[in-house]
Amino acid sequence: MTNTKNYAMMLIAGLLRVIHVTTHVSLRKACDLIKKDRVLKTIKLAHNALLDLGFENPRIVVAGLNPHAGEGGLFGREEIEEILPAINSAKKMGINVDGPYPPDTIFLRTSKGEFDVAVAMYHDQGHIAAKMVGFSTGVNYTVGLPIIRTSVDHGTAYDIARSRSDSADPRSLIEAKKLATKLANQSAKP
């Protein structure tokens, strides 16, 4: 509705922030979409979103696509040919970014505060980590929009909401509202 071309999904669960290079596409297509320009765009979106959240020098870490971040080309060349060139371009722009690191370690490191945001290459790579940390409290923040858009990270849960039972957990919605308020207050500062 805003005609925005450069935006991304960032999941926030406690200290863990994850932004996705690709989201709702097949794994096969996601692999094909891992290109330097798309990775660089996501790194820049992450950097700007964290500035909006009040971080002065956001620490960004980038996941590899392949096991062990490709192991120097042994398990794939995407890290060498697409991801690392994007990281190097971002560094030249003054962005504090590192990687690509093995995806099986960076989300834990980020959740402990070593980095401010992790760049995931595809949907499940980032979502599994975020939901392990904060399934009931996670927030979906759409970065890059000219408006503030936050939501629960687990979907609408209409089936539970319509059941009139007490099984719906409002914590994620409460966190989404808190984040939207924080963003609105940050943008209102002179």
170: left (phi over 0), alpha (psi -120 to 50) or beta: alpha
186 located within any domain: no
187 located within any domain: no
Q: Which range has the worst mean pLDDT, 23-32, 71-80, 101-110, 162-171?
A: 162-171
Which residues make Cβ contacts (< 8 Å) with residue 29, sequence separation at least 6?
22
106 located within any domain: yes
Nearest to 55 by CA among 143, 114, 107, 116: 116
Residue 159: how many other CB atoms lie within 10 Å = 10
4 located within any domain: no
Nearest to 18 by CA among 187, 133, 180, 95: 133
49 located within any domain: yes
pLDDT score of 184 more than 80: yes
- Residue 8's SS3 state is strand
169 located within any domain: no
Distance between CA atoms of 141 and 46, rounded to whole angstroms? 11
Q: What is the mean pLDDT of the segment spanning 62-83?
A: 95
CB 126 within 8 A of CB 118: yes
Distance between CA atoms of 131 and 134, rounded to whole angstroms? 5
Per the structure, how many domains does the chain have? 1
Q: What is the mean pLDDT of the segment spanning 134-141?
A: 90
| Amino acid residing at 120 | A
Beta bridge partners of 63: 101
77 located within any domain: yes
pLDDT score of 17 more than 70: yes
Residue 145 is given by DSSP the state: -
Beta bridge partners of 98: 61
Arithmetic mean of pLDDT over the chain:
91
175 located within any domain: no
Range of the domain at 90: 11-137
CATH number at residue 117: 3.40.718.10
pLDDT tens-digit series, residues 95-133? 999 999 999 999 999 999 999 999 999 999 999 999 998
CA distance between the termini of the chain: 27
pLDDT tens-digit series, residues 148-175? 999 987 766 666 666 666 667 788 888 8
CB 122 within 8 A of CB 22: yes
